[in-house]
Chain A
Amino acid sequence: MSDPRKAAAPDPDDFLDVDGSLSAEERDIRDTVRGFAARELLPDVADWFDAGTIPEPRALAKSFGDLGVFGMHLDGYGCAGASAVAYGLACRELEAVDSGLRSFVSVQGSLAMTAIHKFGSEEQKNAWLPRMAAGELIGCFGLTEPDSGSDPGSMRTRARRDGSDWVLDGTKMWITNGSIADVAVVWATTEEGIRGFVVPTDAPGFSANTVHGKLSLRASVTSELVLDGVRLPADALLPGSSGLGSPLSCLNEARYGIVWGAVGAARACYRAALDYAATREQFGRPIAGFQLTQRKLADMVVDVNQAALTALQLGRLKDAGRCHHTQVSFGKFACVAAAQRVAREARSIHGANGITLEYPVLRHMLNLETVATYEGTEEIHALSLGHAVTGISAFR
C-alpha cells in the first residue's frame, strides 16, 4: 500500500477527487460547459435574477443549442448521444451558475424532448427534435395543474375526440418556459387514461401567462398554460404514451439532472464562502481562522462531496442501465437537502453581504427552495424511499 502521508493534499474544490474518476471525454464536456458558463452566463445571471426574467431567451436557447446541451443524452435526431454522467456534469456546471439556467436545459432536454423521443412517432421526432436540439425551438412540459401537484393523477385537463381530432381543455401551472415556448408537451386524461399531446403554442385556444412576483428561480420564465378548446389533429397524440407512468418517466430523467444540479449550486455556495472567509477580516484576522467558521466549512465540504459522490454513482448506474427510479429519489432527497444546508451556511458566513446579489449565496438559497419542491417534493421522495425499503406505500 502506498504511504498516505505522501499522498497529495486534497483540492479544496474537489476534496474527495470525485472528478478524478471521470473519463477524458467526460472531463472535456465538463470543462466545455464550465467555460461556457463562466463566459456566457455568470457575468449576467445576477442581473437576470434581479430583473426576474431572461431578457433574450431565444439567444440563450441558441447558444445552449450550439453547445449541444439540449437532449445531449438522447440518441439521433440531432442529439449528441452523450452518457448520463456527461449530462449530469453539464447540469452540475450550469446550476453552479444558477438553478434557473439548469432548469431551462432540464425542461427542454429531459422533459419536452425526452417525451417526444420516448413516446413520439417517427414523424413527430423528425419534426421537432432536431430543431429543439439546435435551440431553434423552445419546448415546455405541462403536467402540473393549479390543483394537482404531488398527485398528478388528479389532473383535470381533458382531451376528447371529435371525429379524428382531439380537443383539449384545462389549465397547467408552474410550467417552466411556458410563455416563450414554441411547443408544449401537454398531458391530459382521455377515455383511455392519461396521454401526451404535442401542442404547437400558436394553436388557437392556447395561451400562456407568465407568473410574476416569484422570489425564487427568478432567472427563469415560469408560466400558466390555458387550453381553451384547443383543437389538434390526430397526429398530435404521442402514440407511445400511456398512463401516468409516461410523464413520470420523463420527470425521473429531469430529476436525475437535478441531483447533479444541486451539487453544482452547493459547490458554488461553498466556494463563495471559502473565498469570503479567507478575505473577510474581523478582530484582526480572516474569519476563516475562527473555529465556528471552520466548523461550517467542514460541514459544507462534507455535504458538497457526499452529494457529488451520490450524483456520480447514480450516473454510473444509469449508464449501466441499472438505475431504479427510487435511487433517483434518493439522490434528489439527499442532494437538494445538502445543497440547502450548504447555501444557508454560506449565507451566514457572508454576514450582511450574503443577502445581496453581489454574492451568489442567497440567490442559490432562494432557488433551492424551488428545486426542493419541483419534480417531486422532499416529502414525496421520502415516501418513495420509505416505500422502497419497506414495501409499503404510504400514499397511494
Chain B
Amino acid sequence: MGVQGGWPPAMNIVVLVKQVPDTATERKLSSDDKTLDRAASDGVINELDEYAIEEALLLREKHGGEVTVLTMGPDQATDSIRKALSMGADKAVHVNDEALHGSDALQTAYALSRALGRMEFDLVVLGSESTDARTGVVGAALAEYLELPQLTLAGKVDIEGRAIKVQRLTDYGYDVVEAQLPAVVSVVEKINEPRYPSFKLIMQAKKKPVEKLTIADAEIDAAKVGLANATTETVDFAPAPPRAAGTIVKDEGDGGTKVADFLAEKKFV
C-alpha cells in the first residue's frame, strides 16, 4: 500500500466525495434492480462530504500539502468532483465502471481501499454518512480494509507531526481519540462551516487533473463488486406514505392550551 510517511509534515489528504440525489427532490429506487434511480433527481455532493472537503482544505492551509478528491460513481458524478475542485481541492480521482453499479457499503469500502492503495496519502477524510443510503459504515469498513486507525464522528481534528487527535462526538459530549497517521477520519457537520466555491476556483476547476480509473486500473476484483456480488440485498421497498395533513389550531383565546394539550396527547411533554 502506498502510504507516505516521514517528515516534513506536508500532508497528502484524500477526501472521499459521494454524489447523492438532491435531498430537496423526490428520491426513487428503480423498480427493475432496486438500486437508486440516479436519473430521477439532480445529483449533488453528499452534504457531510462538503464538511470533509472543508476540513481537508483547512488542514492543507495549516500544514501544507495537497488535497485529492476520490469519488466512485457514474459519469454524472463529475459534477460533484468539479464542485469539490471549485472549493479548492487540487486534483481528483474518479473510479467509474459499470461493474460497480449496485455495490453495497462494504463493496464500496473495498473498491475505495483499492483505489487508495494506488495513492500516496497521510489522511483520508470523509463524511460520516451519506444522505441517500445512510449506512454510516463506509469510513469504518474502509479503515479495516486499509488496516489503518479509524477516527469516526469527528467534531474537531488536530494534527501535530504524525499524531492526530480527534474529538469524537457522542450523545453525552465527546471522546478524545488519538492515533498515528496515516488514518481515516469521518466528520460530522459540527466540525466546520463549508466555504463557498470562489469564482476564481470555479474557473480553475476544469483545468485541474482528474484521473479516471476503471476497476481494472484500480485492480478492483470484479467478483467482489457490483449488484450480483453484493453482501446485502434490497428485498423490497415502498415509497414513503404521503405525509398526513397537519392539525391546524385556531387561536380563539385558548390557542396555548390547545397546543399544550396536543403536545401532552402525543407525549412530547
| Residue contact A32 to B202, C-beta cutoff 8 Å | yes
Q: Hey, which chain A residues are within 8 Å of B86, CB to CB? A: 28, 32
Q: Hey, which chain A residues are within 8 Å of B83, CB to CB? A: 28
| Residue contact A82 to B196, C-beta cutoff 8 Å | no
CA distance A278 to B198 in the complex (A): 36
| Residue contact B199 to A29, C-beta cutoff 8 Å | yes
A234 in the interface (beta carbon within 8 A): no
CA distance A82 to B79 in the complex (A): 19
Q: Hey, which chain B residues are within 8 Å of A29, CB to CB? A: 199, 202
CA distance A80 to B79 in the complex (A): 21
Chain A, 237-253, CB within 8 A of any chain B CB? none
Q: Hey, which chain A residues are within 8 Å of B202, CB to CB? A: 25, 28-29, 32
Which of A24, A32, A80, A81 is in CB contact (< 8 Å) with B196?
A32
Instruction: Give min CB distance, B37 to chain A, whole Å.
Output: 15
CA distance A282 to B202 in the complex (A): 47
Q: Hey, which chain A residues are within 8 Å of B196, CB to CB? A: 32, 35-36, 66-67
B-contact 0/1 string along A44-74, CB 8 Å cutoff: 0000000000000000000000111100100
Name A63's closest neighbour in chain B (CB-CB): B196
- Interface, chain A (partner B; CB < 8 A): 24-25, 28-29, 32, 35-36, 66-69, 72, 80-82, 86
Q: Hey, which chain A residues are within 8 Å of B29, CB to CB? A: none
Interface of A is mostly: helix
Q: Hey, which chain B residues are within 8 Å of A69, CB to CB? A: 199
CA distance A28 to B202 in the complex (A): 7
| Residue contact B79 to A68, C-beta cutoff 8 Å | no
A-contact 0/1 string along B81-113, CB 8 Å cutoff: 011001000000000000000000000000000
Q: Hey, which chain B residues are within 8 Å of A82, CB to CB? A: 199, 203
CA distance A32 to B197 in the complex (A): 7
B200 in the interface (beta carbon within 8 A): yes
Q: Hey, which chain B residues are within 8 Å of A86, CB to CB? A: 199
Q: Hey, which chain B residues are within 8 Å of A80, CB to CB? A: 198-200, 203
Q: Hey, which chain A residues are within 8 Å of B200, CB to CB? A: 68, 80-81
| Residue contact B82 to A28, C-beta cutoff 8 Å | yes
Number of B interface residues, CB 8 Å?
13
Which of A24, A32, A35 is in CB contact (< 8 Å) with B199?
A32
| Residue contact A72 to B199, C-beta cutoff 8 Å | yes
Q: Hey, which chain B residues are within 8 Å of A25, CB to CB? A: 202-203, 205-206
CA distance A66 to B197 in the complex (A): 9
Which of A24, A36, A66, A68 is in CB contact (< 8 Å) with B82?
A24
CA distance A36 to B195 in the complex (A): 10
Interface of B is mostly: helix
CA distance A82 to B197 in the complex (A): 14
Q: Hey, which chain B residues are within 8 Å of A72, CB to CB? A: 199
Query: What would 10 A/B residue contacts be, using CB atoms closer than 8 Å?
Result: A25-B202, A28-B86, A29-B199, A32-B86, A32-B196, A32-B197, A32-B202, A66-B198, A69-B199, A82-B203
Instruction: Give min CB distance, A61 to chain B, whole Å.
Output: 15
Chain B, 196-228, CB within 8 A of any chain A CB? 196-200, 202-203, 205-206
Instruction: Give min CB distance, B103 to chain A, whole Å.
Output: 27
Name A87's closest neighbour in chain B (CB-CB): B199
| Residue contact A68 to B206, C-beta cutoff 8 Å | no
Given contacts A28-B86, A28-B202, A69-B199, 12 further A-B contacts (CB under 8 A): A24-B206, A25-B202, A25-B205, A25-B206, A28-B205, A29-B199, A32-B86, A32-B197, A32-B199, A32-B202, A72-B199, A81-B203
CA distance A36 to B86 in the complex (A): 15
CA distance A35 to B45 in the complex (A): 14
CA distance A216 to B196 in the complex (A): 30
A-contact 0/1 string along B163-188, CB 8 Å cutoff: 00000000000000000000000000
Instruction: Give min CB distance, B196 to chain A, whole Å.
Output: 5
Name B78's closest neighbour in chain A (CB-CB): A24
Q: Hey, which chain A residues are within 8 Å of B82, CB to CB? A: 24, 28
Instruction: Give min CB distance, B90 to chain A, whole Å.
Output: 17
Q: Hey, which chain B residues are within 8 Å of A28, CB to CB? A: 82-83, 86, 197, 202, 205
Q: Hey, which chain B residues are within 8 Å of A24, CB to CB? A: 79, 82, 206
Name B86's closest neighbour in chain A (CB-CB): A28
A-contact 0/1 string along B56-85, CB 8 Å cutoff: 000000000000000000000001001100
CA distance A35 to B83 in the complex (A): 13
Q: Considering the complex of A and B, which 3 residue pairs feature the smallest CB-CB distances, nearest first?
A: A68-B199, A80-B199, A68-B198
Name A86's closest neighbour in chain B (CB-CB): B199
A-contact 0/1 string along B123-166, CB 8 Å cutoff: 00000000000000000000000000000000000000000000
CA distance A72 to B203 in the complex (A): 11
Instruction: Give min CB distance, A344 to chain B, whole Å.
Output: 30
| Residue contact B206 to A67, C-beta cutoff 8 Å | no
Instruction: Give min CB distance, B25 to chain A, whole Å.
Output: 12
CA distance A81 to B203 in the complex (A): 9
CA distance A24 to B106 in the complex (A): 33
Q: Hey, which chain A residues are within 8 Å of B197, CB to CB? A: 28, 32
Instruction: Give min CB distance, B22 to chain A, whole Å.
Output: 11
Instruction: Give min CB distance, B107 to chain A, whole Å.
Output: 30
| Residue contact B203 to A67, C-beta cutoff 8 Å | no
CA distance A66 to B79 in the complex (A): 23
Name A26's closest neighbour in chain B (CB-CB): B202
Instruction: Give min CB distance, A310 to chain B, whole Å.
Output: 24
CA distance A68 to B200 in the complex (A): 7
